[in-house]
């Protein structure tokens, strides 16, 4: 997740340096400005999540800066710092749209708490589900129904439909919203490290464990833990996750004591977990433990009425903080409206972000959109040479087709599993499983070789 960006504005150098030290130490991306005028130049050139400004400054005051910021971008959150004698002015700032004010001398802990609350508000705004379709209305109503419970939720949907957005929305509407939301992609972390990531480890428990480390279950205590791509979880780790869910306690890697945790788990997948349980690749007991409540997110092609509002939203999002007024020419808009979006909402946003960066005269043309959108999908043909997969009259062995495609991908990439998985549209672990299924051996550097059968 990207670091939150904070602009600190104060005409006293010492104060700027103190605030920069405190905030940088908490992991924020900090920029400083010595005046309100300098701050506006920064804001016009890049996006900030929060502005922390002194009230009384030479030249433009904090209140004047607040007014300028509000006129320029209403989404920027502003916190003011004020001396004891200026409380009345600080109160006025709340009426003008400031999030809060702090009196000097401020306590650093209170400062950080105020900033955290402000950014939590920003996270809540960022989790807005942009839609007008009846399909997504059902999803939003379901979110509100299940948010107040502590039950686990399984979120299903194709890649790019916004499963993490749904998870964040559940968290922000829950009784845990004031506590942390932690997310981890189970397919993105090496299976040997994922256990430590989830449950933590003790010093010396494995090579490189130079100190103790809290896992995400401990970090998310009192809050929500989102496990994306849960279908990629190693079968051995599935048993440990099941125990954590059932017993509400975890044991660090190399540890000997049980640590109680209060965590709500939300999981997401684009895989058919029920089928995986039948194939003994996913624990049936874990499946039912995760699937207490479930949400199915429809793909973008099934909610086309959302397309226009998403287009408007993403154009505004990627021009926020700039003076650009982006237009979309009719031919480009038709292409955007007619495209089938196999990558769903994520693909739409990526295409628009690219087009906004490339377009001239602030007008998006067909040439500014990704080539695949104008060319359409070109899958390899089976039994024919047109643009679609065709089934030969005599039929095929699906297993042999799968094996053939995998062997071709491995041959093309010199047996590199990572590159082959990308060619086939699979995750690294899914391809590893299929290679083992077809009698390939794997080694530790992302390559594989065919073994004996």
**Partners of 32 in the beta sheet?**
8
Residue 172: predicted pLDDT = 86
> Rg of the chain over CA atoms, in angstroms?
26
- Residue 187 falls within a domain, yes or no? yes
Quote the pLDDT of residue 36.
94
Which CATH number belongs to the domain containing residue 328 in this structure? 1.10.8.60
Residue 381 maps to a domain = no
Q: Is residue 382 part of a domain?
A: no
Extract the tokens encoding 218: 């401990």
* 120 and 157 both lie in a single domain: no
The 3-class SS string of the chain reads: CCCCEEEEECCCHHHHHHHHHHHHHCCCEEEEECCHHHHHHHHHHCCCCEEEEECCCCCCCHHHHHHHHHHHCCCCEEEEEECHHHHHHHHHHHHCCCCEEEECCCCHHHHHHHHHHHHHHHHHHHCCCCCCCHHHHHHHHHHHHHHCCCCCEEEECCCCCCHHHHHHHHHHCCCCCCCCEEEEECCCCCHHHHHHHHHCECCCCCCCCCCCECCHHHHCCCCEEEEECHHHCCHHHHHHHHHHHHHCEECCECCCCCEECCCEEEEEECCCHHHHHHCCCCCHHHHHHHCCEEEECCCHHHCHHHHHHHHHHHHHHCCCCCCCCCEECHHHHHHHHHCCCCCHHHHHHHHHHHHHHHCECCEECHHHCCHHHHHCCCCCCCCCCCCCCCCCCCCCCHHHHHHHHHHHHHHHCCCEHHHHHHHHCCCHHHHHHHHHHCCEEECCCCEEEECCC
Q: Which of 266, 296, 326 is the last residue of a domain?
A: 296
CA distances from 198 to 253, 258, 281, 286, 344 (A): 10, 14, 20, 16, 29
Q: Give the pLDDT confidence score for residue 449 in this predicted structure.
A: 41
Q: How many domains does the chain have?
A: 4
Query: Is 266 within the bounds of a domain?
Result: yes
Q: Are residues 363 and 403 in the same domain?
A: no
Domain boundary among 246, 276, 296: 296
Q: Point out which residues pair with 305 in neighbouring strands.
A: none
Q: Are residues 165 and 291 in the same domain?
A: yes
Q: Are 260 and 314 part of one and the same domain?
A: no
φ, ψ at 52 (rounded to 5°): -110, 110
Question: Are the CB atoms for 266 and 155 separated by under 8 Å?
Answer: yes
Looking at the fold, whether 156 and 238 belong to one and the same domain comes out as yes
Q: How far apart are the first and last CA of the chain?
A: 44
Write the CATH number for 208: 3.40.50.300
Q: Are residues 173 and 240 in the same domain?
A: yes
Half-sphere CA count of 312, side-chain side, radius 13 A: 7
pLDDT of residue 136: 92
Residue 390 lies in a domain: no
Residue 95 in tokens? 């009426």
Question: How far is residue 63's CA from residue 80's CA, in Å, rounded to a whole number?
Answer: 9
Distances (CA, A) of 56 to 12, 33, 293, 316, 443: 11, 14, 52, 33, 64
Dist CA 263 CA 152 (whole Å): 10
Same domain, 206 and 271: yes
Instruction: Tell which phi-psi region holds residue 27, choosing left (phi > 0), alpha (psi between -120 and 50) or beta.
Output: left
Looking at the structure, tell me whether residues 108 and 10 fall in a common domain.
Answer: yes
Q: 17 — phi, psi (to 5°)? A: -65, -40
CA distance linking residue 126 with residue 107, whole number of Å: 29
Nearest to 76 by CA among 131, 111, 39, 21: 39
CATH number at residue 116: 3.40.50.2300
Instruction: Provide the pLDDT for residue 432.
Output: 82
Q: Which CATH number do you get for residue 409?
A: 1.10.10.60
On whether both 217 and 306 belong to a single domain, the answer is no
Q: Is residue 231 part of a domain?
A: yes
pTM, 2 dp: 0.61
Question: Within this chain, do residues 223 and 144 fall inside the same structural domain, yes or no?
Answer: yes
Shared domain for 327 and 279, answered yes or no, is no
Give the Cα separation of 189 and 381 in Å (integer). 34
Residue 92 shares a structural domain with residue 141 = no
The domain of 330 spans 301-375
Domain stops at, among 261, 296, 331:
296
189 falls within a domain: yes
Low-confidence ranges of the chain (pLDDT < 70): 1-2, 74-75, 84-91, 121-127, 375-399, 441-453
Residue 393 lies in a domain: no
> Cα–Cα distance between 118 and 101 in angstroms, integer?
11
């Amino acid at each position: 997740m990207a670091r939150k960006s904070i602009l600190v504005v104060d005409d006293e150098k010492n104060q700027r340096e103190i605030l920069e030290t405190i905030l940088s130490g908490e992991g924020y991306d900090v920029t400083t400005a010595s005046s309100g005028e300098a701050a506006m130049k920064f804001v016009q050139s890049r996006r900030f999540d929060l502005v922390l400004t002194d009230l009384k400054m030479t030249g433009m005051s904090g209140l004047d800066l607040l007014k300028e910021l509000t006129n320029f971008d209403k989404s920027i959150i502003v916190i003011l710092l004020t001396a004891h004698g200026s409380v009345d002015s600080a109160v006025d700032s709340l009426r003008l749209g400031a999030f809060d004010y702090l009196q000097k001398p401020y306590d650093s802990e209170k400062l950080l708490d105020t900033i955290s609350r402000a950014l939590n508000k920003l996270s809540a705004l960022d989790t807005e589900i942009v839609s007008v379709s009846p399909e997504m209305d059902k999803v939003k109503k379901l979110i509100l129904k299940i948010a107040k419970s502590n039950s686990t939720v399984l979120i299903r949907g194709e890649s790019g439909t916004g499963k993490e957005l749904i998870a964040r929305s559940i968290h922000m509407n829950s009784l845990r919203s004031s506590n942390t939301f932690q997310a981890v992609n189970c397919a993105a972390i090496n299976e040997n490290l994922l256990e430590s990531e989830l449950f933590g480890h003790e010093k010396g428990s494995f090579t490189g464990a130079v100190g103790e480390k809290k896992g995400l279950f401990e970090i998310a205590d009192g809050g929500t833990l989102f496990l994306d791509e849960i279908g990629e979880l190693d079968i051995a780790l599935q048993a440990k996750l099941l125990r954590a869910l059932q017993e509400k306690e975890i044991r660090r890697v190399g540890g000997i004591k049980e640590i109680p945790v209060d965590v709500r788990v939300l999981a997401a997948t684009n895989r058919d977990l029920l089928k995986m349980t039948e194939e003994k690749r996913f624990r049936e007991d874990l499946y039912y433990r995760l699937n207490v409540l479930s949400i199915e997110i429809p793909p973008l092609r099934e909610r086309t009425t959302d397309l226009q509002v998403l287009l408007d939203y993403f154009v505004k999002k990627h021009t926020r903080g700039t003076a650009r007024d982006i237009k979309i020419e009719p031919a480009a808009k038709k292409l955007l409206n007619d495209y089938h979006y196999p990558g769903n909402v994520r693909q739409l946003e990526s295409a628009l972000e690219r087009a906004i960066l490339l377009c001239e005269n602030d007008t998006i043309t067909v040439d500014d959109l990704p080539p695949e959108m104008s060319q359409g999908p070109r899958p390899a043909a089976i039994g024919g040479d047109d643009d679609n997969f065709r089934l030969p009259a005599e039929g095929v062995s699906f297993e042999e087709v799968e094996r053939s495609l995998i062997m071709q991908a491995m041959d093309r990439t010199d047996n590199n599993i990572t590159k082959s998985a990308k060619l086939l549209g699979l995750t690294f672990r899914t391809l590893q499983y299929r290679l083992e299924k077809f009698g390939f051996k794997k080694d530790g550097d992302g390559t594989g070789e065919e073994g004996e059968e």
